[in-house]
A and B are shown apart, each in its own frame.
Chain A
Amino acid sequence: MAVTVHIPTPLRPYTGGSASVDVEGATVADALAALTTAHPELQKHLRDSKGRLRSFVNVYLGDEDIRFLDKEATPVSSGAELTIVPSIAGGAA
């Protein structure tokens, strides 16, 4: 399945500046694996040393948080859009 992954600004240095990356995958996990294979530097920003998605990085399939779907086992259909949303704190300084 061809899936588009939207990359947030803080992670774009690790995708060569790309705001979105097209990958293949049947599940969210597949798609993210394809993403980090294409852009290995992303791995440590998305996952901890045990391979779990970091708790301050949310992944959405369409507009749904995958934590409330079937997490990374959630199947994706062709043309699906994944959005990575890390927490950011800026505002005043």
Chain B
Amino acid sequence: MSLPELSREEISRYSRHLILDEVGMDGQRKLKGSSVLCIGTGGLGSPLLMYLAAAGVGRIGIVDFDLVDASNLQRQILHGTGTVGTPKVVSAKARVHDINPNVQVDVYEEALTSENALRILEPYDVVVDGTDNFPTRYLVNDACVILGKPNVYGSIFKFEGQASVFNLGDGPNYRDLYPEPPPPGLVPSCAEGGVLGILPGVIGCIQATETLKILLGKGSTLSGRLLLYDALEMRFRELKLRRDPDAEPITELIDYVQFCGVAQHEDAVPEATGPEPFERLSVQAIATRRSEGWAPYVLDVRKPHEAQIVAFDWADRLHPHEDVASIADELPRDRDILIHCKGGVRSAKACAALAERGFDRLYNLEGGITAWAKELDPSMPTY
């Protein structure tokens, strides 16, 4: 296939690449003739899309079904205050074209699924995984293996990131690293655990670097290596990654939500079977009961720094959910106990932990303080 020519404007735009031996005129034309699919336009996708666009990748596909939210802007620098509320793919496309109008942008405003993944991935040279959940990560991996496409991987949590290149040539893939996902609830999400805003910038830039190297055919990629980055300690570590000889061959796409669901893991952290030993109450139900005189003991199981952001002035005690059992002796057994957190997940765990210790008047605030703020008291901040 003959490579596209560069226009006079492009030669001027890419001059710092053109004078690099490792890129040069041939490399820049290669980039122009290449295509990359970026799945997710969030923290990882933000720097990645901006740098790939600036670098002159000819065609970029963007997959995202979400809208820009104000809480994205702390790290998703692709989007801005002016695009809050608009589809992320629309915001992303506008930003990419502002950086480099020479780039063809293909937009997929849909969730990646087992039904559409092969069709969406097929027309691209390289796939970049900038997703935020296990089902989509396994889906992207398996689709790349089936289609024979390199998958540039990056993942983040709080202050820590991982990066690698999967399925490049005979190289290992995500399932060689982790054959199975963790059971739900054992690994908190960024929405639950938080993330340093700059962290996805670092990892996304590493993904962008690896993508360009694959397209150019230059240097040594992270294929066969897992790079770990700890922002808090400012330390990079590198681990070997091999093909797992016991791995099942990947021949078709499966139901990834089920694969990552509870059903698969009989050895998961023990989940309650049968009826839950506590009652789940909506914010409306709680408001109604309180207006009728219900006065439960209220336990906030978030971290102290979260309570500094927003808290109920009618809460009795603040104690993090992880070791709520340690204060069991200090909680009333002759009163109803209403437990809440930010979104309702940690408080349900705390309810279960206290039920194990014989408490039987437990109520979980469904949706947490966030639901309360959104549905009943918009003057309360959300985070």
Contacts and interface: CB of A to CB of B under 8 A. Distances in A.
B132 A91 contact: yes
Interface stretch (B5-13, B149-157, B273-281): B149-157
Contact of A90 (B64, B157, B228): B157
Contact of A65 (B187, B238, B242): B242
Contact of B189 (A55, A56, A68, A93): A93
Contacts of A52: 267
B241 A65 contact: yes
B187 A87 contact: yes
B159 interface: yes
A57 B341 CA distance: 27
A54 B182 contact: yes
Given A13-B322, A64-B240, A92-B42, A56 B156 contact: no
Interface string B222-255: 0000101010110001111110100000000000
Contacts of A60: 239-240
Interface stretch (B50-58, B117-125, B190-198, B330-338): B190-198
Contacts of B366: none
A45 B185 CA distance: 11
A49 B268 CA distance: 8
Interface string A57-72: 0101001110110000
Contacts of A93: 42, 132-133, 189-191
A88 B230 contact: no
Contacts of B157: 9-10, 88, 90
A39 interface: no
B177 interface: yes
Nearest to B135: A89
B240 A90 contact: no
A80 B134 CA distance: 32
A55 B240 contact: no
B307 interface: no
B160 interface: yes
A75 interface: no
Given A9-B160, A10-B193, A91-B155, A86 B187 contact: yes
A74 to B, nearest CB: 14
6 contacts: A64-B240, A86-B187, A90-B155, A93-B133, A93-B189, A93-B190
Interface of A: 6, 8-10, 13-14, 19, 41, 44-45, 48-50, 52, 54-56, 58, 60, 63-65, 67-68, 83, 85-93
Give the top 5 A-B pairs by smallest Cβ distance, nearest first. A92-B42, A48-B267, A92-B40, A90-B190, A92-B132
Given A86-B187, A88-B157, A90-B190, 17 more contacts: A9-B158, A9-B160, A44-B269, A48-B267, A48-B268, A50-B267, A60-B240, A83-B228, A87-B155, A87-B178, A87-B182, A90-B132, A90-B189, A90-B195, A91-B190, A93-B132, A93-B133
